Structure 1
């Protein structure tokens, strides 16, 4: 099993710290504190993203979905899918072997959730291994939350997601959050947050294309804070995640 390196920042542990978790080291906290000084929006964006994930999972369980495939979610901490969808089966898939090993350790006592270490771009491998735990002939909640903006265009992320969509049973749902540059006219990399971490932001239209022919549920593709909020936002108050677009879409039943 890979050792937990306490001297090198790890993205999954850094995200855990962003969310207020305890599964991180001093080096991870130092990296995030430095980032927050440069980009004060980093913390509210991360927490708005996690709050949306929780609302989306609650929505999906309300539709009857009881199994989830969460790709690139980092460490399964701080109100992640298995902690919200109680009684469901959840498969987490993480590319980083250190994060995956840490995640498996965290889930040892949970019979309903597992962590797999796999390359998200190898969809056949991911789906094949997930099928050992999930019934892919039945509806699944596919969670691609703050991961697609780390997949560069050269790796053909739209084709990757299309393969995943095709493998899902009718009635399944796709949940996506993605960084966007709504002010791209000011120049590439306006957001800075994800480009600085090796990723890329995309336009709203490029993000909409990830859903393919799935039907977006109301309110559609919106800012994270505006997707079925638990409480109304005060009039005129800024969104804590205006650079993050989110959506939930359903795969239609096959015609008779």
Structure 2
């Protein structure tokens, strides 16, 4: 399992829930903020603590005075959330944690499948209404309405499992579902950047048929791919050649060993 973090800059783009829920071809839709100056780090050898620490170091390099808004987008993993809070507290950073909007919608679709068949257009309308309500800051109300609907439909425990999972998720993650503030502030609310990084940094190279990796070998390739993605390859390769020259041609002389040949 690889742990990934991405740090990037973006200019705020205030939006409304209607902008988020608009269809892709809707002319009135306001486009979301665009990621700039992306920096990636990943590891299969280190845990989330080290990877998130590296992300905070990069963020502090960009904003050493903590003058800009810091926003952390996550998929709801509790360990990652705790590590982000710990790093922010350690550095005195006021950071806002936002749950990835796409993950919330996935939970809503799971709940909808308990009430509607897959091809039923009513299911799409149901998800759209609930999603709009969550974007408006009504996650707790949505959780309660889902449970009530399941009860009124007389669903047994197995049939309503996805409903209860969704309601529990919305209630447990409520502190990180403040989408009204995020949208008004112009912040991103989806983790498309990290999802893309998972694909091109990890899956395109490691998740191929028949591949077998040692942890050490996978870590080395992952680091090289991150260096290349970050645009640091020329500087890195110059450093690599310098270090190789020192190892091959200078290390033996430093100890006073003079090779001779007949």
Please report the TM-score for the alignment, with normalisation by the length of structure 2: 0.29
Structure with the bigger RCO (C-alpha within 8 Å, sep 6+) is 2
**Which structure has the highest strand share of the two?**
1
Please report the TM-score for the alignment, with normalisation by the length of structure 1: 0.30
